[in-house]
Each structure stands twice: as structure tokens, then as C-alpha cells.
Amino acid sequence: MGSKGRPYRTLRVEGFEVLVGRGDEDNDALTFEVAAPHDLWLHVAGGTPGSHVIVRNPDRVEVPREVVERAAAAAAWYSKARSAAKVEVHVCRVADVSKPRGSPAGLVELARWKSVRVRPENPGGAGG
């Protein structure tokens, strides 16, 4: 168990709660048990190992681009692509994420997504 006993770390970006998974099993728990279907889901593209990142969207609003980009930068930071200059990050609704039967922890399929290119950035104040 992590120090907080939760499978994710929590950030705040312009009033939005952003949740960052800590490992493969934690990513699955975050994506399929914690997140709501209308929340945003982010992960580095290209099969690069990294954290699943959720932007909570309980009001089902259009999440501002700035929030999406900062969450994407966090996804890039908490991945094996941390040292890259620019990283492609997939963004979709949690409803568009599915788990193939029998697949290993952390592995998912996306029905549809958009991509953003960002510089990996430590979200700061996230701790650990």
C-alpha cells in the first residue's frame, strides 16, 4: 500500500482534480473503478509505459485546453518518456477506454482519442 493507501496521487489544475496512477494495477483501478465515464483519460502514446491520468469532470463541461495540456504534461512526466523533449499523449473520455479480456494490468484499448504533444513537466507539489 502507498502512504495514502490510494492507487493514485491527486493534483489540482485550475479547479479540476487530476488523478495520476502509481503503477499497472493502480492504473487499472484508477481507470475502471475510480474514474467516471465522462472524465478525461490521458496516457503517453506509442505503447510507452506510464501512468494513467484522469481529469475529473463531474459537471461534464468542456475541459479547458490548458487543463488538458497540463494533465498531458503530467502523464508524460510519470512515464518512461520523461526525458524526451516532446511527448505525444492520447486523450479520450474514460467511456472510450476498455480492457481486453485476459490482458495484463495497465493494458487498455481506446475506441477513439485525440493526441496532444507536450513537454514532460513535473506537476509540482504532487509529492513522490
Ranges assigned E (strand) in 22-63: 40-44, 53-55
- Looking at residue 121, its amino acid is E
pTM of the entire structure?
0.92
Task: Identify the band that residue 127 occupies on the pLDDT scale cut at 50, 70 and 90.
Answer: very low
- Residue 44's closest CA among 11, 13, 9, 79? 79
Q: Tell me the one-letter amino acid at 38.
A: H
Q: Is the pLDDT of residue 125 over 60?
A: no
Percent of the chain with pLDDT over 70: 94
The answer to whether the beta carbons of residues 77 and 123 sit under 8 Å apart is: yes
* The pLDDT of residue 112: 97
Which DSSP letter does residue 86 get?
S
Which alpha helices (DSSP H) does the chain contain, by range? 24-29, 65-77
Task: Answer whether residue 124 shows pLDDT above 80.
Answer: no
pLDDT tens-digit profile of 36-71?
Answer: 999 999 999 998 999 999 999 999 999 999 999 999
Q: How far apart are CA 101 and CA 57, in angstroms?
A: 27
